[in-house]
Structure formats: C-alpha cells, structure tokens
Structure 1
Amino acid sequence: MFRIAALVTAVVILAGASPSPAAAGDKTITVFAAASMKNALDEIDAAYTAKTGVKFSVSYAASSVLARQIEQGAPADIFVSADTDWMDYAIARKTINESTRVNLLGNSIVLIAPKDSKVDSVTIAEGFDLAKLAGDGRIATGDVKSVPVGKYAKAALEKLGAWQAAEPKFAMAESVRGALTLVARGEAVLGIVYATDAKVEPGVKIVGTFPADSHPAIIYPVAATTTAKGESSDYLAFLRSTAAKTILEKYGFKFLISPTT
C-alpha cells in the first residue's frame, strides 16, 4: 500500500511540475538576416512578439557569411539576404524552400563621410574622381568579393570609371555595418553603404547618392529554410504585411511587393 501511495504521490508531483499550456506553447523563430536589416527588423520582430508571443533569435552578418553558415548546417528558420546572388546560392544548395521566396525590399547606395567632414555635397556621375576626393584617407565598404554592398559599390565605380584609381584606398569590411563604423569613428574618410544604414548612424552624413543605373538593382529576398519550423510561415506573411511595410519604409527601405493586410 505504501508503495502504491508513494507512486500516486510521485505522479501527482510530476503532473504539477509539467509545463503549463502557455509555457509549452513558447516558440522561437531563428532569423539569419543581412546586417543592414538590423534596426528595422528588430522593430518588426518586437511588434510580432507583442502580437503573437513568438520570440526571436536573430543573427546579423553579411549575407555571404549567413548563406554559408546555413549551408554548413547552422539552425535557421528564415534567411534575409541583401542581394539575390546569395539567396540563389542557398537555393542551389537546397537549404532554402524556394516556394517561400519573396523579393521583398529595395535599397540604394550612398557615399558617406564622418559628420564633421569638410566634404559636403558630391555629384556622383561618370568620371567623378573618388580617389582624389579621399586624398590620403581610406574609403570603407563591404568586401567587394563577397559582401553585397561591396559588390554593388564596385559595380557602380567600374561603370562610372572611378574604380581603378580608388581601389588601393579601399578598406574592406566584413559587413556593411563594419564599413559604417569605420566612417563614424573617423578611421575612413569616406564610405559606401546603403542609404538605410546612413540613416541610422548619427556619426556620418550622406554626401552623395549613386545613380540607380550605375549598379545592379539592390534587392533583398526573404525565404524560409528547408528546416524551418511551422510557425515561420506566419512570420513570413507578417513581413509582407502593411504593418511591416510601414516600419521598413520608415527606415528607408523600398517595399517591392503589394502588401497584404
């Protein structure tokens, strides 16, 4: 009898210790997103958490780094790339659920300088001399071989005839936010970043905007990974919503699709 009573007591204790329905329902979505998305996506995620209770684990880095991490098996539910090349790379390696892909956002690239720089307004057009403008200083951008902002920057400078002379002056950063920091700290006299990054950094100012036709269109695709949790589909739907559009446009992104309600 004692053994039976003890067993019943143990079962009751274990039942009382089991998670409540609310705790059992706690969910987390893991997002791998381009570094330039940080401020806007943090606000979007906070709004989504307030609405649904779903929490987020977010890694921000260059799209190239994130795509390779996903390829190597890093656990991620959502991938937001700053260019189509790295999303295509991930799709080719079967790590992305291609049917969920949406080319969601657009952006532009700008020339920045430290806030107190004497450089003020630069006309960026064919033949402009970026090397001369930088003088003895460095020019920061993302690695032109892999980081999307660097690839866009190099393409624009090649088309405008400014790359060859300016190339030796470049300081290549591991992400667009790294390049932004170099300029904000005065470690680079100029930088090429997205307009959205310049908008959120008080230590820099925009001194020129690259013509849209000087580089490939800047497109941010978003998609679920092939290992994404089920709740990721609702989050992707939220990214396409009017609520998300309002936040993204506040930070300077261009919404490329018709928003859902």
Structure 2
Amino acid sequence: MTESWFALYPPVGGGRGAYSRMVAELREHGHCHLPALAGRDSRFAETAAARFTDLADDLWNQLEAELGLGRSPDRLVLFGFSMGALIATEMAARLQQRGTGAGGLVVAGCPPPHLLAGRAVHTLPDEELTAALAAQGTVPSMVLDDPELLSVMVPVWRADCAAVASHPRRPVVLDCPVHALGGTEDPLAREADVTVWPRLGGAGSSVRLLPGDHAAVLDRQDLMAAAVLAAADRPSEVGARW
C-alpha cells in the first residue's frame, strides 16, 4: 500500500470521536487509524492507563497492527492535540527507532515533551479537577451538565492527566518534518514553547500561531486537517499551505 494514511491521537478524556470534523475530511484522502484507548469507546469497561509508558505501549501495539497490514510508515502522518500530541510524538520516535520513520508529525496545543509544565491536576479532588479542565474550554457542556456522565468521565480525566504528568521530560529529535499549531493566549502551550517544535524535526518543519487560547486551537479542526493533508502531500511546503 502506498497511499497516505493518518493516525490521530485524542486529547485528555477524548476518544475516537474527538476529531470527527477532521476525520470526515481526511477519510477522503486516505485511511484513518483511530486507536481505542482504555476507558472509552469499545474499551469502556477497561481502566484507563495512568502511566504514560503503559498508554504508549498499548497504542504502539495498535499502530504495529496497522503496519502489519502492509501500510507504509513513510506514508503515515501522525497527529495529536494536547495529550494526543505527546502520544503522536512518542509514536514517531518509536517508528524512527524501528528504522523507518513516519512521513510527518503534526502537533497542536502542546509544548514539546521536555518543556512540559509540572502540573499535578490529577491529584485534585473531583470537583476541582473538573473545574480545572472546564476552565480550558475543551470539556463539552453536555458532560458538565450531566452528573451521571460526569461520574464516568472524571476517572478517565484523572488517569489521562496522570499519564501526561508521568511523561519523561526529555528532548525528542525526529528526522521527519514536525508541524506545530498553537494559540497566542494558550496557558497550557505557551507561544515560546510551541515555536520550539520545528527545531525538533527534519527539513520542512513549521509552526503556526493563532489568536486565542487552548479551546480556540482545538476548534480549528479545519486548519489541523489542512496541515495533516499538506504534510502527506508536500511535506516541504506545509508552512506555506496551512
């Protein structure tokens, strides 16, 4: 198989539906690998991983299964927002260690791994944890307004936040192009940190900053899809095309 394909990794609490608008666009151009994370979707009954290494190992096994179908790593573009960006970066690093790197990496709303802040929101009581995530503007109101749904989501949020907190703070240097999208007013991914991403990638890496905060970046799934498609089509021209 030589067509482009895409692997999309969700933010904290997200599942396969996190990027529904993006997926609708990307599926017109290639296969979308939407991994199943423990604690949601088809794996709802499982306990979400609270350590990044466990989370990454699980998702790596799922990606390897796709590679086993004959999909080419160098035609793969990895994408993630926030926590998903860390996962996508880890997958890119493992592919590189395997000997055949990915075709490209697109990250949004996230600082590079070695610049992650030492936030410990996973240790907060349920109400404070919920308030902290709600303040980011990325939690749907339907969840916040439904006590039963909220009781289901809080353990998943807590595990995801713990996984992020346990991520090793070490620089990652990739051979593939890295393209980053950030918000000028995002306290979780500061402008100064987001602009470091291209230095960690290969030729053609780029960064784009949008006015707005964390939620504003996530809302621009049109731009994120455009970046992923540009990375798959003409990696050296992404900066000029999204």
Task: State the TM bucket, normalised to the shorter chain.
Answer: 0.3 to 0.5
| TM-score normalised by length of structure 2 | 0.34
TM-score with structure 1 setting the length: 0.32
Query: Higher RCO, 1 or 2 (CA under 8 Å, sep at least 6)?
Result: 1
More strand by share: 1
